[in-house]
């Protein structure tokens, strides 16, 4: 029994020495040329930390014209690092961020069903910044997971049937000019 305990503790000590039970004092450079932050082992206690050593969320499903990702340098064709290109610099990028006309209703059957029509009078609609959150911009009340949705219990849950009472709907409108060269 004592011999087994001694062997177990010896192996544990060897593993700690081999794999480094102490934290490294310097940051490591990764292949992607960003600094890797060493864990503090208390990250989960800090409410301000939601990611460590993670690339920014993004998607590269975006069309770049050939001249955006290939150039000529000293008579040679050089391709750019397309994984790290800024899509906002492309001539095919159009941001939809900004101020939009916004109409909010508490019940789905009160929504404007013709809001997409060009001649709709939206002069009495409010405005909202996009991206934005309805509840944080004064439309409705925030829904918390531990409270449940306002329409819970108002109907017999039979998908795909959707309730109209207490089922909030937001309608957005904005005039967008599409460039002629698209």
pLDDT digit string (tens) for 96-129?
999 999 999 999 889 998 888 899 999 999 999 9
Helix extents (H) in the chain: 2-19, 66-69
Give the number of domains in the chain. 2
pLDDT at 164 over 90: no
Residue 16: inside a domain: no
| 35/107 same-domain check | no
Decide: 103 and 171 in contact? Cβ < 8 Å. yes
Q: How confident is the model at residue 86 (pLDDT cuts 50, 70, 90)?
A: confident
| 56/117 same-domain check | no
User: What residues does 28 pair with on adjacent strands?
Assistant: 36
Higher pLDDT, 67 or 32: 67
| 40/100 same-domain check | no
Higher pLDDT, 8 or 66: 66
Alpha-carbon distance 149 to 182, whole Å? 42
pLDDT at 7 over 80: no
Q: How confident is the model at residue 22 (pLDDT cuts 50, 70, 90)?
A: very low
| Mean pLDDT, the chain, integer | 75
For residue 63, report the phi and psi dihedrals to the nearest 5 degrees.
-90, 125
Q: Which two tokens stand for residue 53?
A: 């050593």
Residue 11: inside a domain: no
Residue 102: inside a domain: yes
Q: What pLDDT is stored for residue 130 in this prediction?
A: 95
Domain that residue 158 falls in: 95-175
| 74/102 same-domain check | no
| 77/111 same-domain check | no
Residue 128: inside a domain: yes
């Amino acid at each position: 029994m004592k011999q087994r305990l001694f062997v177990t503790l010896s192996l544990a000590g060897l593993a700690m020495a081999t794999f480094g039970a102490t934290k490294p004092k310097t940051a490591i450079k990764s292949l992607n040329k960003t600094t890797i932050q060493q864990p503090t082992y208390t990250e989960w206690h800090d409410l301000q930390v939601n990611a460590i050593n993670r690339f920014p969320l993004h998607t590269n499903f975006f069309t770049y014209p050939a001249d955006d990702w290939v150039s000529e340098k000293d008579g040679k064709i050089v391709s750019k690092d397309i994984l790290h290109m800024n899509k906002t610099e492309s001539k095919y990028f159009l941001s939809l961020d900004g101020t939009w006309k916004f109409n909010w209703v508490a019940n789905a059957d009160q929504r404007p069903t013709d809001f997409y029509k060009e001649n709709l009078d939206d002069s009495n609609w409010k405005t909202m910044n996009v991206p934005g959150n309805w509840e944080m911009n004064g439309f409705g009340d925030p829904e918390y997971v531990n409270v449940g949705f306002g329409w819970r219990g108002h109907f017999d849950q039979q998908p795909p049937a959707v309730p109209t009472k207490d089922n909030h709907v937001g309608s957005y409108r904005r005039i967008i000019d599409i460039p002629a060269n698209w």
